[in-house]
Amino acid sequence: MSFMRSNDNTLDVLVSGKRAPLALPNRQPAPRRGTLGTAFIGIGASLVVGIRAIYGFSWFIGQWNIYPNPVPELVAWILLIAVLVTAYIVARTVGDSLPDWMFVVFLAALALVIVLDFVAIWPLHDIGRHATASLAAAMSLLLVLTLRGTTELLIASGCAGLGIALAMAVNTSPDVDNIAPQLTSLAFAVLPVVIGVMLIRGFRRMVQIELDRVLIQSTVSAPRFAVGMLASEELARLDLAAEDLLDSVASGRTPLPLRPKTASIAASLATELRLHLIEGRRETWLYHAVTESEMLGRSVTVTDKGGLAGLLDANQRDGLLAATWLLVSDTAKGTAGRTVQIELGPIATERHPDAGRKLTVPILMSTTGVVRNRVDPSTWDAVRRVGRYSDSTHNSSLRVTIECFVDNPAEI
């Protein structure tokens, strides 16, 4: 996920699907930065940094007598503590993202801490064994983990690691006995930030996927044929455009007879309006769910000529959606190359003995890139809620046939 310097807040995320430019009715919202819950993660990261700092500080106290001149080291620690406290307070009050200048000040202060630490331990000629404040400072990047782009943090951490490594190379003799402590210190300085960055990326992705899933879940309760989230806006836009045009004709602003250009605008307006009024309401909840979802839109295709998906009740819909979701989203091996084709109908002509007065809608879910024994077990629970199923393997990918019993729309 790329980091976006936007002011997305929860509400923007919520309505971004709806506020998309009307000219592109099925446009997916731009990649969103999941901000839900990250503030809480930020507190956890601060806690981790705090504990690390306490550990480093106790080392500093422990080797107080070793320093040829402890003053730079003391200054480094005082500065580091001040930076940590300030950064914590700022991070709690600044909201969603740290302004650039604050980030630069933060980085500069940390760099100063590292330099002061090295000045204090330089005469000892063993950075790996004696560095304290610098290692804690390098890890302190985690304080702004949730407030800045992950790439920036990786670069900053890489620079810090490079600086420490260079200082070690210049200052410490590459003795067999000396290499291991240098390596250890370097790892403790850099790895926590890398792990933290990967964690927060995963967390944001998880939140985004869940948001996507929850938003399309609302299609489960939609009527048999629905218009989708953007249709009413689209209709409103067309009505308004028609109103403007008619108004300008009525008031004489647009002279009669119309110029060809205006006439063609009127013609296209009429066509679009007709399409929306007459041809509208032919898409089912499943179509809307797939087109509105970032996740499903990429890899799921629906073939449902008769609009039969609309006949499924809420529980069956929920099951079908969950099963599709599980087949597509199983991230163990990445979703690249995974596709699901859902085919509904035609309605079975002979009545199934178990079906009673209900109609039988056959559903075929054919997939590519989904291995039968890698499928999440809860997929089968979800499929079972849709109807009786049987599964097979076709071109080394899973294929599920479901017999789904639905109420006859003519009888209700």
The single residue among 58, 69, 301, 303 that binds other proteins, judged by CB under 8 A, is 58
**Residue 154 is a binding residue for other proteins (CB under 8 A):** no
**Residue 401 is a binding residue for other proteins (CB under 8 A):** no
**Residue 66 is a binding residue for other proteins (CB under 8 A):** no
Write down the least CB distance from residue 226 to other proteins, Å: 6
The single residue among 19, 40, 100, 158 that binds other proteins, judged by CB under 8 A, is 40
Cα-Cα-Cα-Cα dihedral sign, residues 363, 228, 209, 318: negative
**Residue 371 is a binding residue for other proteins (CB under 8 A):** no
Which of 317, 302, 136 has the alpha carbon at shortest distance from 224? 317
**Residue 266 is a binding residue for other proteins (CB under 8 A):** yes
Token pair listed for 294 = 């970032």
Nearest 5°: phi and psi at 267? -65, -45
- How far from the centroid of its chain's Cα atoms is residue 51's Cα? 30
Pick out residues in 211-230 that bind other proteins (CB under 8 A).
211, 213-215, 217-219, 221-223, 226-229
- Gap between the Cα atoms of 320 and 317, Å rounded: 5
**Residue 263 is a binding residue for other proteins (CB under 8 A):** yes
Write down the least CB distance from residue 272 to other proteins, Å: 10
Pick out residues in 98-127 that bind other proteins (CB under 8 A).
none
- Gap between the Cα atoms of 13 and 31, Å rounded: 10
**Residue 325 is a binding residue for other proteins (CB under 8 A):** yes
The single residue among 95, 99, 123, 202 that binds other proteins, judged by CB under 8 A, is 202
Write down the least CB distance from residue 391 to other proteins, Å: 21
5 with 96: CB under 8 angstroms?
Answer: no
**Residue 37 is a binding residue for other proteins (CB under 8 A):** yes
**Residue 247 is a binding residue for other proteins (CB under 8 A):** yes
**Residue 396 is a binding residue for other proteins (CB under 8 A):** no
Write down the least CB distance from residue 248 to other proteins, Å: 8
Quick one: 60 or 405, whose CB is closer to other proteins?
60
- The CA distances from residue 281 to 37, 64, 161, in Å, are 38, 77, 59
239 with 294: CB under 8 angstroms?
Answer: no
Which of 186, 55, 41 has the alpha carbon at shortest distance from 128? 186
Cβ-based neighbour number of residue 133 at 10 Å = 31
The single residue among 19, 92, 259, 282 that binds other proteins, judged by CB under 8 A, is 259
Which of 165, 211, 218, 173 has the alpha carbon at shortest distance from 8? 211
Quick one: 256 or 412, whose CB is closer to other proteins?
256
**Residue 51 is a binding residue for other proteins (CB under 8 A):** yes
Helix (H) or strand (E) holding 52: helix 38-62
